[in-house]
């Protein structure tokens, strides 16, 4: 199993990133001069001793669920952690990361045969769903799980044709993989101090990146993340013209300006780096969604920041699809951008 597959399969719901952090530390030790984990849970690797400080951030956390209540019949109620569409939840297989070990469950609801016709036309809200762990009653369920246990979608990873891959937690374990590869390939004698930050709790408010950016106070920053592909039925090009396999995306603006507005100098450096290395790229202008860059560039007196993303289908789902060639090109582009900065 390669590192990318390990990253996609491992668990790390926001606030519970410990296992991902352990894997990131292990891999960063192979390339970095120094590794530390801050009090918030961010993993930070340093390479080089140059005057300019460059921060590369990829968030470690994934969307998921948290056990909220155990009924007398032994079924689990839950809350969502991060942005999850209620429409994808029904009948999903999940894994509760309990203290005593993993517990498999299935998200259930009232059967369609017992629903009224008007009810069948509605999306079932997550508060009306439950997780079935096969327990006979509350006492039996409490021997397996506790209120507050994090829940992930069933881990998966595989191929779709030659270049495409699917997996759990592609957002943003793909970014974590890119970060690790960039740090391996950046020359040791680079005339800069490069920080690799595996950030915590991005999906619930970009929290870890804020803490890390304040600590490091870099001159420049790049967020490495995923973004929404528009190459599926029902999506207009005016909504998203991004296609998987057509190169990494360079963000110009997030969330209609509420997120990062990429610094002109950083944008220029990324564009020229892509041209020099003949890396195909796409331009990403988002009306919704933000990355770690949205909070990094607001830290202290402002940090010029940009974003390099991988176009991804079915983002924030249980199985997302991306292109390996996009990943490889993102690694090349990030390395060349860091050298230029």
CATH number of the CATH domain containing 137? 2.40.30.40
Residue 162 lies in a domain: no
Express each pLDDT in 150-185 by its tens digit.
Answer: 999 999 999 998 999 999 999 999 999 999 999 999
Express each pLDDT in 312-337 by its tens digit.
Answer: 999 999 999 999 999 999 999 999 99
The verdict on whether 237 is a catalytic residue reads no
Average pLDDT for 26-50:
96
**Residue tagged active-site, from 62, 202, 203, 254:** 202
User: 199 is written with which tokens?
Assistant: 């950030």
Per the structure, how many domains does the chain have? Answer: 2
> 322-338: string of b/e by CB count within 10 Å (b at 16+)?
bbbbbbebbbbbbbbbb
- CA 67 – CA 303 distance, rounded (Å): 38
35 & 176 share domain:
yes
314 & 231 share domain:
yes
For residue 188, name the pLDDT band (cuts at 50, 70, 90). Answer: confident
Burial degree of 12 (CB within 10 A; 0-12, 13-18, 19+) = buried
147 & 191 share domain:
no
Q: How many CB atoms lie within 10 A of CB 282?
A: 19
pLDDT score recorded for residue 239: 87
Whether the predicted pLDDT of 232 surpasses 90: yes
The 3-state secondary structure of 309-331 reads EEEEECCCCCCEEEEHHHHHHHH
DSSP string, 209-233: HHHHHHHH--SEEEEEEEEE---ST
Residue 159 lies in a domain: no
pLDDT score recorded for residue 1: 76
Cβ-contact 109, 124 below 8 angstroms? yes
State how far the alpha carbon of 96 is from the alpha carbons of 200, 283, 290, in Å: 20, 38, 28
pLDDT score recorded for residue 111: 66
Instruction: Record the pTM.
Output: 0.95
Cβ-contact 256, 290 below 8 angstroms? no
Whether the predicted pLDDT of 131 surpasses 60: yes
For residue 129, name the pLDDT band (cuts at 50, 70, 90). Answer: very high
Could you say which of 153, 185, 204 is where a domain stops? Answer: 153
Q: In what order do the strands lie in the sheet with 53-59?
A: 34-37, 43-47, 193-199, 53-59, 220-228, 305-312, 249-253, 282-285
> 27-66: string of b/e by CB count within 10 Å (b at 16+)?
bbeebbeebebeeebbbbbbbbeeeebbbbbbbbbbbbbb
Q: How many CB atoms lie within 10 A of CB 246?
A: 18
Q: How many CB atoms lie within 10 A of CB 182?
A: 26
Domain that includes residue 17, residue range: 3-62+168-340
95 & 203 share domain:
no
Express each pLDDT in 75-117 by its tens digit.
Answer: 999 999 999 999 999 999 999 999 999 999 999 987 665 556 6
Q: What is the DSSP letter of 273?
A: H
């Amino acid at each position: 199993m390669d590192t990318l597959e390990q990253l996609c399969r491992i668990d790390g719901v926001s606030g519970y990133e410990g296992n991902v952090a352990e894997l990131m530390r292990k891999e960063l030790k192979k390339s970095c001069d120094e590794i530390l984990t801050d009090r918030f849970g961010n993993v930070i690797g340093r390479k080089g001793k140059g005057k300019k400080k460059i921060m590369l951030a990829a968030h470690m956390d994934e969307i998921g669920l948290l056990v909220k209540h155990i009924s007398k019949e032994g079924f689990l109620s839950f809350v969502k952690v991060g942005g999850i569409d209620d429409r994808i939840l029904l009948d999903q297989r999940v894994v509760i990361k309990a203290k005593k070990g993993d517990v498999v469950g299935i998200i259930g609801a009232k059967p369609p045969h017992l629903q009224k016709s008007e009810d069948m036309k509605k999306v079932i809200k997550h508060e009306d769903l439950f997780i079935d762990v096969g327990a006979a009653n509350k006492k039996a369920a409490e021997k397996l799980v506790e209120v507050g246990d994090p829940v992930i979608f069933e881990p998966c990873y595989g191929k779709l044709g030659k270049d495409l891959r699917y997996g759990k937690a592609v957002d943003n374990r793909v970014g974590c993989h890119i970060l690790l590869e960039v740090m391996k390939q950046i020359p040791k004698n680079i005339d800069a101090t490069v920080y690799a930050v595996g950030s915590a709790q991005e999906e619930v408010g970009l929290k870890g990146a804020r803490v890390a950016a304040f600590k490091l106070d870099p001159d420049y920053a790049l967020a490495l993340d995923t973004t929404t592909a528009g190459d599926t039925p029902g999506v207009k090009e005016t909504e998203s013209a991004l296609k998987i396999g057509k190169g990494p995306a360079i963000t110009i603006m997030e969330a209609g300006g509420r997120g990062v507005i990429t610094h002109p100098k950083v944008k220029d450096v990324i564009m020229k780096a892509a041209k020099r290395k003949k890396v195909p790229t796409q331009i990403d202008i988002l009306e919704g969604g933000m990355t770690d860059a949205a909070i990094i560039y607001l830290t202290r007196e402002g940090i010029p920041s940009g974003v390099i993303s991988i176009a991804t289908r079915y983002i924030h789902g249980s199985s997302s699809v991306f292109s390996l060639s996009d990943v490889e090109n993102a690694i090349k582009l990030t390395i060349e951008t860091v050298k230029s900065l």
